[in-house]
Amino acid sequence: MVAPPDNDVLWARALHVNHNGSPALSGVSLGVRDGEILAVGGPRGSGKTTLLQCLSGQLLPQQGEVWFNSVPVHTMGALARERLRRDRFGWIDPVPVLVPELNSWENAALPLMLRGTGRRAAKTAALEWLERLDIGDCARKRPHALLQAERQRVAIARALVPAPQVLFADEPTAPLHRADRAHVLRTLTTAARSHGITVVLATHDADTAGLADRTVTLLDGRRVNTVHLPPVTETEGRAACSLSV
């Protein structure tokens, strides 16, 4: 095993993942620099979620390596990977999954309390994030009393409250309306930049990817380079194409 470059907070080499025999990732390698916002683009089914799951230690690749801060994740046991996710990573799903018995601030404060932060400090941090995401008045409501877009903001607050070193966001604005999307994404990216949080953002939306520092594109489980060709007439075909590397 060769250690990754020092300036990459995350580094993956030649990841191969099959889901029930069908390939989801076929030899994907990439580095994520400390503090950058990296978009992972590509159409539905191209392997974006699977890549985020591998990078965050949720899923072990059948082949390949994942390193976090020069520590191999792919050789860690399940418990060590769970601790890593709890203590260093945040995760936002496309659809919010909240604890139904807890209200919004309790849901948002949960990761901090699981790390051992006292209830009062965790509540203060949670309320600050709910305010920033414009749902301060939902703090005492339980998930069933919230709109889907409000639930997603609570899930985003929950991911940001513990100031993770890396935030994995899998289509984080999927349940939001277009206007809402831009606001939440700006809040998320501004927060990440001001707190030095590295973000890996899966999206198939070009506007969303536009907020990132860099985009890595997947197609059928492989990395591709997007090559922009000079404009052509309608009859000549598309103005951009993707080439496998």
Ligand X SMILES: Nc1ncnc2c1ncn2[C@@H]1O[C@H](COP(=O)(O)OP(=O)(O)OP(=O)(O)O)[C@@H](O)[C@H]1O
Binding site for ligand X (CB under 6 A): 19-20, 24, 42, 44-50, 202, 204
Q: Residue 18, Cβ neighbours under 10 Å: how many?
A: 15
Nearer to ligand X, 28 or 211 (CB): 28
140-155 residues labelled b (16+ CB within 10 A) or e (exposed)? ebbbeebeebbbbbbb
We find the least distance from the C-beta atom of residue 47 to ligand X, in angstroms, to be 5
Q: Which residue has its beta carbon closest to ligand X? A: 19
- In this structure, what token pair is assigned to residue 119? 């209830």
Q: Which residues contact 194 (CB under 8 A, 6 or more apart)?
A: none
Closest CA to 174 of 134, 201, 192, 198: 201
Does the CA dihedral 123-127-133-137 come out positive or negative? Answer: positive
Q: What is the DSSP letter of 145?
A: G
**How far is 180 from 166, CA to CA, in rounded Å?**
24
Looking at beta carbons only, is 146 or 218 nearer to ligand X? 218
Q: 102 burial class (0-12, 13-18, 19+ CB within 10 angstroms)? A: middle
**Interacting residues of 79 by C-beta distance below 8 A, sequence separation 6+:** none
Phi, psi of 33, deg, nearest 5: -80, 150
**Is residue 98 within 8 Å of residue 114, measured between CB atoms?**
no
